Structure 1
Amino acid sequence: MSDFPWLTTLGVIPLVGAAVVALLPKGATRNVRPIALAFSLLTLVVGIVAATQFKTSGDNPQFQLAETHSWIPQFGVSYAVGVDGMALSLILMSLVLVPISLLAAWNDIPEGGRRQQSYFALLLVLETFMVGVFAATDVFLFYVFFEAMLIPVYFLIGMFGGPRRQYAAVKFLLFSLFGGLIMLVAVIALYQQGPGGDHGFLVNSLTGLHMSESTERLLFVGFFIAFAIKAPMWPVHTWLPDAASEAKPAVAVLLVGVLDKVGTFGMIRFCLQLFPDASKWATPVVIILAVISIIYAAIAAIGQNDMMRLIAYTSVSHFGLIVLGIFAVTQTSVIGSQLYMVNHGITTAALFLFAGFLIMRGKSKNITDYGGWQRTTPVLAGVSLVAGLSALSLPGLNSFISEFLVLIGTFERYPVAAGISVVAVVLAALYILLMYKNIFTGPKQQLVAAPDGTLAMAGVNGQGGRPSTGVTKTLFDEPDTDIADIPAEAKVRGSAIRDLDVREKTVAGVLIAIMLFLGFFPKPALDLLKPAVRDTLQHVNVHDPAPHAGVTTEGSSK
């Protein structure tokens, strides 16, 4: 089974699924959602089987499950894929999040027909590109997948997003294309520095090259700018809040939870491995940018009223921590950053999807349009609290161990940067707990008549309990009015605010189970990542700083 093309199969299955979904005849469009879900689950099963073939012990090559085929030999381009522990963990995270997102997006396009087919087909195409970008071991192939991901995301935002979807989609595309074009120049220049030949773009062929100091630094900058935009880091982060706010929650999950990891993944795979000396040269500036991202984005999150923008800003802050751990280049910080990429994907998925469940019920993204929802939707309130606690790195949940490793690993080499970054822990508690308080605590909402005649909850904005924007008439003035007390003649079909249904509870249950598992038992993930960390440190040729505690050579305290 070791010769089986596992990674190619992982990319082909969702692509076939996308074709099946897109080509369904008009009379069979009711099967779009279950077919898309079935293909994503099949991909996950194959991915789990492939992961069992990966060896974490013994003397193994950097890339396993590898395939290499000549693609454009005249230009040295190969179809070459393979994974180390970092790439495999991100692929598995992607394969888990896609079916969860599809299940959460079940009613995103309720009208069915071609529009629904396009939506679910694009999500499956995106899954193929996500597998490809993490598995590529040919730099040019990586670039192809890096840019190809823009296409389905652009249409998923621009066709199916909110009122400002076109602006958000174009802004996302322009930022990404700008970074991609700079990286393309660097990719071509890097090839010119390498040995050339039919497989001249292979990562292994381009590792350890002897370049002039100025050339290596320029190539590093070309790659780093593209990855900083994708990550995203301050000050090239501004596309993310707009894109995440306008996208459907399921699209926001894959955008922020998976696609943005390509930026931090690329910093490790390409910036550190291919340009080790330039990485050391740029480290002081990168550390400063990372610290600014951490603090600035956390403060910006506190001031957001749009809950989707708030979650997006929290991700900018968390990405700053990941970059900080990468460029601190200690064993502890790098393994913390790699684990953080996985944990952030799970936590962010929960935050965006649970916010989407809330928005579907409350018809508003504004935090001030809510209040007291824990009395009406206790299960939604409970799972949202767990997701929020994970985002603020509560011990026992998945994010804690990765954030802890990043901070203590960074402290070994850059104690000042680590000390400033610790402030983000306090800020995270503020933006998460304030959001939860304003949405879910307080008195029950008033019931109001919406313009279309249905009943809905009125938002309490803290200024006398005024109804939400767009409300035309209050049906009940008492805040404690319950849905059960509505006269039969006043009830409108589908208007009552209900708690999570079975499908939504399944989504929440799977995500919370993963949070708890990685929170209490992170060893399997750490064991998978350790060889990748070892390879990274070998390429950069950096060793952990000596302990600060005074110890004699005999081991006794001074």
Structure 2
Amino acid sequence: MITTALAIPLGLGLLLLVLRNAVSGRVAAVLGSAAMIASSVLYALVWEGRSVRVSGEVDTAWIEPLGARLHLGVTFISWPFLLMTAVLGLLCCVWLIAEDTSPALVGLVLIISGSALGVFSSLDLLLFFVFFELALIPMWFVIAWWGDPHDQEGRRRAATRFLLFTVTGSALLLVGIVWIAGSFGSLQILDIDGAALGAAILIVLGFAVKTPLVPLHTWLPDAHSKAPTVGSVLLAGVFLKLGTYGLIMLGAQMLPEEFAKIAPYVATAGVVGIIWSALACYAQDDLKRLIAYSSIGHMGFVSLAISTMSEVGIAAAVFGSVAHGLITGLLFFASGSIKDRLGTASMAAIGRGLYARTPWLAVAFVFGAVASLGLPGLAGFWGELLSLRAAYEVGDVLSKPGAWTLLGFAVLGIALTTAYFVRAIRLIAQGEAVPHEGDRDLNRREALVMGVLALGIVALGVAPGPLVGLYDFPIYSGSYEAVTP
């Protein structure tokens, strides 16, 4: 079932690239939507519950001289990431159901989504790395070919910078994997329980670029601001999660003793990112760059949670990652719609009074903004609260003074996040309307995509239990049970 769930988007994506002149963009997007629905259903059905260590496991010989195997499966950590990725890939395809869509762009979206699904499904280190790399070149084309139509040179520069940073991080990751394989004698993720500290450092650095952690984040704002709408959604909703998932699965879970020595530095980098990105957001005029910088801060909360290496910390990291994927997806769809209509993402050029000019589009953006700043009752609230709780309870890795100091700065970051999103809301949604010839409200396709994300954000905010319940600790109590894979 897992191999089918992976083969459908990857196979159709490659087919659309080959037959890009034989089908219309609308047909390609409809086919892509159907493919992602099929993958979503298969991944939902493959889950057998926490009582099974790996659901839907596939384990066959692959490259025997290297000890690599075609080892796929769903764990209690990967399942939420898989469902989130499949849903975002589906919504991106639905978004592209339009007359002017290129079939090649739909094909690249499917390949990127399928590659991410492969990362979250892989239980072999080499297979993990292959899928990890498979999405890089397609994303370069998405940004460089279909990015900002008003800045061809800028979008190619942003795409190349993205590629250079991520390839460098991947090179460090590969060296770490080879080091582990050589010293431990296995490439099977669930069998490895330690390695040299140097290998762990390389692996963490590789994932730190993807997350991204400060100061390895500089590729992100340009890539987001120049990418097309679906590119920005996949970058924020999926690509950044490859980094956080790697830190959880290959760091805290696979190399616990070694990661414990690195964790204080990861936590510090995460909290520095929370504060620095918030200040950077307050200085932004470009709406897409503001959302991009905000992602660095939210991933800082996730990194802080992972660094505690506690049960509540792992739950916070997974919940925060999924919540961020949905919220940022909504924000980028909304900001992309604004840019498509008005030809700019500059808040000064967009003008004030979107509530009067395009009421439902304004509501979609404001809803995403208040969810991102952590309003109670929405998904972002639980991601941040659980991360703060993980830091408050310290865990076995961070020292109490260090954890509580980082906790204090993280709380300050929440206040700063509220400030810059309120500023953005006041600048473009409120005030006296300044009409623009491009003003038009959401069409049915856009309303469907944003509505699905809004419902998901509300559902996780009102009822976080089904997701948090995967990690066996109560939300409202200070006690929790040990979590084992």
Q: With the length of structure 1 as denominator, give the TM-score of the two structures.
A: 0.80
Once the 2 structures are TM-superposed, how far is the Cα of residue 53 of structure 1 from its aligned partner?
Answer: 3.6
Check the 8 A contact 2:221/2:293 in 1, yes or no.
yes
Once the 2 structures are TM-superposed, how far is the Cα of residue 529 of structure 1 from its aligned partner?
Answer: 4.3
**How far apart in 2 are the matches of 1:160 and 1:94?**
21
One-letter amino acid of the counterpart of residue 437, structure 1: R
Check the 8 A contact 1:77/1:201 in 2, yes or no.
yes
Once the 2 structures are TM-superposed, how far is the Cα of residue 204 of structure 1 from its aligned partner?
Answer: 2.5
Once the 2 structures are TM-superposed, how far is the Cα of residue 270 of structure 1 from its aligned partner?
Answer: 0.7
Check the 8 A contact 1:286/1:327 in 2, yes or no.
yes
Match among 357, 364, 371 for residue 390 of structure 1: 371
Once the 2 structures are TM-superposed, how far is the Cα of residue 166 of structure 1 from its aligned partner?
Answer: 0.8
Aligned: 1:119 with 2:105: yes
Aligned: 1:146 with 2:132: yes
Q: List structure 1 runs of 4+ shifted beyond 4 angstroms.
A: 534-539
**How far apart in 2 are the matches of 1:48 and 1:535?**
30
Post-superposition CA distance 1:138-177 (Å, at most 9, x none): 0011111111110110111111112111100110011011
**How far apart in 2 are the matches of 1:73 and 1:384?**
51
Q: Which has the higher helix share?
A: 2
How large is the RMSD of aligned CA atoms in angstroms?
1.9
**How far apart in 2 are the matches of 1:15 and 1:430?**
42
**How far apart in 2 are the matches of 1:427 and 1:336?**
21
**How far apart in 2 are the matches of 1:46 and 1:361?**
32
Check the 8 A contact 2:371/2:378 in 1, yes or no.
yes
What is the aligned partner in structure 1 of residue 4 from structure 2?
9
Check the 8 A contact 2:327/2:372 in 1, yes or no.
yes
Counterparts in 2 of 1:430 and 1:201: CA distance versus 1, 3 Å? same
What is the aligned partner in structure 1 of residue 82 from structure 2?
91
Check the 8 A contact 1:273/1:536 in 2, yes or no.
no
What is the aligned partner in structure 1 of residue 399 from structure 2?
none
What is the aligned partner in structure 2 of residue 403 from structure 1?
384
Once the 2 structures are TM-superposed, how far is the Cα of residue 330 of structure 1 from its aligned partner?
Answer: 2.2
What is the aligned partner in structure 1 of residue 65 from structure 2?
74
SS of equivalent to 2:73: strand
SS of equivalent to 1:422: helix
**How far apart in 1 are the matches of 2:110 and 2:390?**
37
Once the 2 structures are TM-superposed, how far is the Cα of residue 46 of structure 1 from its aligned partner?
Answer: 4.2
Once the 2 structures are TM-superposed, how far is the Cα of residue 333 of structure 1 from its aligned partner?
Answer: 2.2
**How far apart in 2 are the matches of 1:368 and 1:496?**
15
What is the aligned partner in structure 2 of residue 173 from structure 1?
163
Counterparts in 2 of 1:496 and 1:141: CA distance versus 1, 3 Å? closer
Check the 8 A contact 2:28/2:106 in 1, yes or no.
no
What is the aligned partner in structure 2 of residue 101 from structure 1?
92
SS of equivalent to 1:67: strand
What is the aligned partner in structure 1 of residue 199 from structure 2?
219
What is the aligned partner in structure 2 of residue 504 from structure 1?
446
Aligned: 1:234 with 2:225: no
Counterparts in 2 of 1:20 and 1:146: CA distance versus 1, 3 Å? closer
**How far apart in 2 are the matches of 1:376 and 1:148?**
42
One-letter amino acid of the counterpart of residue 424, structure 2: M
Post-superposition CA distance 1:271-330 (Å, at most 9, x none): 122322221211222221111011111111111111111000000000010000001122
One-letter amino acid of the counterpart of residue 64, structure 1: S
**How far apart in 2 are the matches of 1:204 and 1:285?**
25
Match among 29, 40, 43 for residue 47 of structure 1: 40
Check the 8 A contact 1:161/1:248 in 2, yes or no.
yes
Once the 2 structures are TM-superposed, how far is the Cα of residue 430 of structure 1 from its aligned partner?
Answer: 1.0
Superposed, 1:156-305 pairs within 5 Å as 156-162=142-148, 163=151, 164-195=154-185, 200-205=186-191, 207-209=192-194, 211=195, 216-305=196-285
What is the aligned partner in structure 2 of residue 378 from structure 1?
359
What is the aligned partner in structure 2 of residue 128 from structure 1?
114
Post-superposition CA distance 1:59-101 (Å, at most 9, x none): x22x221101111101111111111122111111011111212
SS of equivalent to 2:335: helix
**How far apart in 2 are the matches of 1:354 and 1:154?**
23
SS of equivalent to 1:85: coil
Q: Which runs of 5+ in 2 are unaligned?
A: 395-402, 474-479
Once the 2 structures are TM-superposed, how far is the Cα of residue 522 of structure 1 from its aligned partner?
Answer: 1.4
Superposed, 1:479-558 pairs within 5 Å as 497-530=439-472
SS of equivalent to 1:151: helix
Once the 2 structures are TM-superposed, how far is the Cα of residue 537 of structure 1 from its aligned partner?
Answer: 5.8
Check the 8 A contact 1:44/1:92 in 2, yes or no.
no
One-letter amino acid of the counterpart of residue 523, structure 1: G
What is the aligned partner in structure 1 of residue 393 from structure 2?
412
Post-superposition CA distance 1:432-475 (Å, at most 9, x none): 111111011111215xxxxxxxxxx1xxxxxxxxxxxxxxxxxx
Once the 2 structures are TM-superposed, how far is the Cα of residue 24 of structure 1 from its aligned partner?
Answer: 3.9
**How far apart in 2 are the matches of 1:156 and 1:166?**
10
Counterparts in 2 of 1:274 and 1:333: CA distance versus 1, 3 Å? closer
**How far apart in 1 are the matches of 2:90 and 2:26?**
11
What is the aligned partner in structure 2 of residue 452 from structure 1?
none
SS of equivalent to 2:324: helix
SS of equivalent to 1:82: strand
**How far apart in 2 are the matches of 1:283 and 1:99?**
35
Match among 317, 336, 345 for residue 365 of structure 1: 345
Q: Which runs of 5+ in 1 are unaligned?
A: 1-5, 447-456, 458-494, 540-558
Q: With the length of structure 2 as denominator, give the TM-score of the two structures.
A: 0.92
SS of equivalent to 2:62: strand
**How far apart in 2 are the matches of 1:307 and 1:106?**
24
Counterparts in 2 of 1:176 and 1:53: CA distance versus 1, 3 Å? closer
**How far apart in 2 are the matches of 1:47 and 1:423?**
38
One-letter amino acid of the counterpart of residue 375, structure 1: A
Post-superposition CA distance 1:525-557 (Å, at most 9, x none): 1223449xx999658xxxxxxxxxxxxxxxxxx
**How far apart in 2 are the matches of 1:165 and 1:25?**
23
**How far apart in 2 are the matches of 1:500 and 1:51?**
30
What is the aligned partner in structure 1 of residue 419 from structure 2?
430
Counterparts in 2 of 1:136 and 1:360: CA distance versus 1, 3 Å? same
One-letter amino acid of the counterpart of residue 166, structure 1: R
Once the 2 structures are TM-superposed, how far is the Cα of residue 37 of structure 1 from its aligned partner?
Answer: 3.2
What is the aligned partner in structure 1 of residue 23 from structure 2?
29
Counterparts in 2 of 1:106 and 1:434: CA distance versus 1, 3 Å? farther
SS of equivalent to 2:214: coil
SS of equivalent to 1:65: strand
Once the 2 structures are TM-superposed, how far is the Cα of residue 508 of structure 1 from its aligned partner?
Answer: 1.6
**How far apart in 2 are the matches of 1:69 and 1:119?**
33
Check the 8 A contact 2:92/2:109 in 1, yes or no.
no
**How far apart in 1 are the matches of 2:174 and 2:16?**
33
